[in-house]
């Protein structure tokens, strides 16, 4: 009841005597977007709240405010119908807010999540409008630097708009960035940006190509199991073969050329997209499709069943190792999220890059994959049975002495998993006199921001009586759903329990959208 009342109060807030909050439109890692009514001009607007400023020091808040003002200036310099209009910027409650045009519709990311993929002709139409917006931005001296499906808005009336110039680079303006700061989404960073080179207009075209691939295929072309492997794929690998792009395929290939000088110009790309949107195959795109040449040593290295492949494979591995080292160095120039993810990956040395903080091997042979009715699946030892505990799902072989608990929250109350864990500690286990924290920190799980919490306590009653230990891995999926994977057991055999937990994390598959 308190949470409901708190939400009702939040939705009735009047900001700076003008903007009345009416409801939530969504949230991300840095902030929330609210639907609001402008009581001066009597119109409905979108208000973006930079909630990250709540937990920042005074100097960091000043940087966030300056960045918000920079975003407004960047958008204000662009005069185009496909760019979301920014109306106002203000500071309220010690954090920046930005007032924007409210687009009645959904993002391209939502469309892909809901519909699985976008038809090639429609994707080409969307790409054409994004390209026109980018041309207007580049003409105004603005690079977007974060083109991705989540920043492409599809209005119900058929309009396509691009939003979020929060990390845009404005020609002639001082850059409000610091060493190790986030400057884009790894999946959509152009190779030259991953290598630490200065971005240009061609970098935005690369991101558009990756966005169009994600639209028609339903997945990012370079997403791998870790930030490092994703960055390596961006620099070294060609995108996976397209199964659904049709005539749009060669256009995407042209936009995703590794060398920015070999990508088409904005005008050339627009002509290609226009032809696809009209149902025609763009002949000019074929000139940008490279002919793949396979080196003799690579052919030898991958020949099935040939024991002579090992010597030839060694030069290939050495080349890849040099590339990995280069990417780790370049990560420092890319930004905080990328650099942190890369360094954590290298530190943990996990074969599958899950980012759990452990180095577990493959699961024992007698483990079976359990596909739960809630939609998720995991590998579990024989004999573990499903139980329910309110909104949570438990699996146990011995009435909870050893326990796996899964919680799924589609509308989490906290800005991030770390704040949720801190609240659970304060309101729950932290009140038990025998509680001892072992670890509590933010981390990455499956390339998503999360938090890990490990602790011990003494249970005084019931079948679980005695000294116990637990670990909880939380993370927030791309659709905003929070997942918590929790395991507890007696201290006396915790090493075995923890090993099981590592296997479970490695096998975890969330519900499909």
Of 93, 110, 146, 366, which residue is the catalytic one? 146
Half-sphere exposure of 113 (CA within 13 A, CB side): 14
Residue 155's H or E segment, with its range, is strand 152-155
The 3-state secondary structure of 98-131 reads EEEECCCEEEHHHHHHHHCCCCHHHHHHHHHHHH
396 forms beta bridges with 385
Distance of alpha carbon 178 from alpha carbon 336, whole angstroms: 9
Answer for the pair 508, 376: CB distance below 8 angstroms, yes or no.
Answer: yes
Half-sphere exposure of 319 (CA within 13 A, CB side): 9
User: Please, what's the b/e burial string for 419-431 (b: 16 or more CB within 10 A of its CB; e: otherwise)?
Assistant: bbbbebbeeebee
The first and second tokens of residue 240, run together, are: 């996976």
- How does strand 448-459 pair with strand 160-162? unpaired
Q: Please state, in angstroms and as integers, the Cα–Cα distance from residue 2 to each residue in 8, 390, 428, 449, 465, following that order.
A: 10, 19, 17, 28, 33
Distance of alpha carbon 254 from alpha carbon 31, whole angstroms: 35
- How does strand 32-38 pair with strand 43-49? antiparallel
DSSP 485-504: EEEEEEGGGHHHHHHHHHHH
Q: Residue 83: count other Cβ atoms within 10 Å of its Cβ.
A: 26
Distance of alpha carbon 215 from alpha carbon 248, whole angstroms: 11
Q: Is 146 a catalytic residue?
A: yes
Distance of alpha carbon 186 from alpha carbon 203, whole angstroms: 13
Answer for the pair 424, 442: CB distance below 8 angstroms, yes or no.
Answer: no
Beta strands in 427-481 (DSSP E): 436-445, 448-459, 466-476
Q: What are phi and psi of 351, to 5 degrees?
A: -60, -35
Distance of alpha carbon 278 from alpha carbon 125, whole angstroms: 9
DSSP code at position 474: E
Distance of alpha carbon 273 from alpha carbon 267, whole angstroms: 10
Q: Which residues are tagged catalytic?
A: 146
């Amino acid at each position: 009841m308190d949470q409901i009342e708190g939400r009702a109060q939040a939705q009735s807030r009047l900001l700076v005597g003008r903007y009345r909050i009416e409801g939530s439109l969504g949230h991300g890692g840095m902030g929330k977007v609210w639907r609001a009514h402008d009581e001066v001009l009597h119109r409905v607007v979108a208000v973006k709240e930079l909630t990250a400023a709540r937990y920042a020091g005074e100097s960091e808040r000043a940087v966030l405010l300056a960045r918000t003002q920079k975003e407004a200036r960047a958008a204000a310099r662009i005069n185009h119908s496909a760019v979301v209009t920014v109306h106002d910027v203000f500071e309220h409650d010690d954090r920046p807010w930005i007032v924007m045009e409210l687009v009645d519709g959904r993002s391209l990311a939502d469309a892909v999540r809901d519909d699985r993929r976008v038809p090639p002709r429609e994707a080409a139409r969307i790409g054409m409008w994004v390209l026109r917006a980018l041309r207007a931005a580049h003409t105004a001296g603005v690079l977007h630097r974060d083109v991705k499906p989540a920043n492409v808005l599809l209005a119900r009336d058929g309009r396509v708009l691009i939003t979020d110039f929060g990390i845009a680079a404005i020609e002639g303006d001082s850059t409000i960035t610091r060493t190790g700061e986030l400057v884009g989404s790894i999946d959509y960073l152009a190779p030259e940006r991953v290598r630490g080179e200065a971005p240009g207009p061609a970098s935005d075209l690369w991101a558009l190509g990756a966005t169009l691939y994600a639209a028609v295929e339903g997945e990012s072309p370079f997403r791998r199991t870790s930030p490092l492997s994703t960055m390596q794929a961006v620099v070294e690998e060609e995108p996976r073969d397209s199964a659904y792009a049709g005539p749009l395929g060669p256009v995407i290939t042209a936009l995703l050329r590794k060398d920015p000088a070999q990508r088409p110009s904005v005008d050339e790309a627009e002509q290609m997209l226009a032809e696809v949107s009209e149902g025609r195959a763009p002949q000019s795109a074929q000139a940008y499709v490279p002919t793949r040449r396979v080196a003799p040593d690579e052919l030898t290295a991958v020949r099935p069943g040939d024991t002579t492949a090992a010597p030839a494979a060694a030069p290939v591995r050495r080349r890849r190792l040099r590339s990995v080292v280069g990417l780790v160095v370049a990560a420092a120039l890319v930004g905080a999220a990328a650099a942190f993810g890369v360094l954590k990956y290298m530190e943990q040395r996990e074969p599958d890059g899950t980012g759990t903080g452990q180095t577990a091997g493959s699961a024992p042979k007698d483990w079976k994959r359990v596909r739960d009715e809630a939609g998720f699946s995991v590998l579990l030892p024989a004999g573990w049975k499903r139980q329910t505990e309110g909104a949570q799902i438990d699996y146990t072989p011995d009435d909870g002495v050893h326990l796996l608990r899964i919680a799924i929250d589609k509308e989490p109350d906290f800005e991030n998993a770390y704040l949720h864990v801190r609240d659970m500690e304060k309101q729950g286990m932290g009140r038990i006199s025998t509680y001892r924290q072992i670890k509590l920190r933010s981390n990455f799980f499956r390339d998503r921001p999360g938090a890990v919490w490990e602790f011990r306590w003494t249970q005084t009653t019931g079948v679980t009586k005695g000294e116990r230990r637990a670990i909880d891995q939380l993370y927030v999926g791309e659709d905003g759903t929070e997942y918590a994977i929790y395991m507890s057991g007696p201290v006396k055999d915790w090493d075995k329990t923890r090993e099981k937990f590592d296997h479970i994390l490695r096998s975890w598959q969330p519900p499909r959208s």
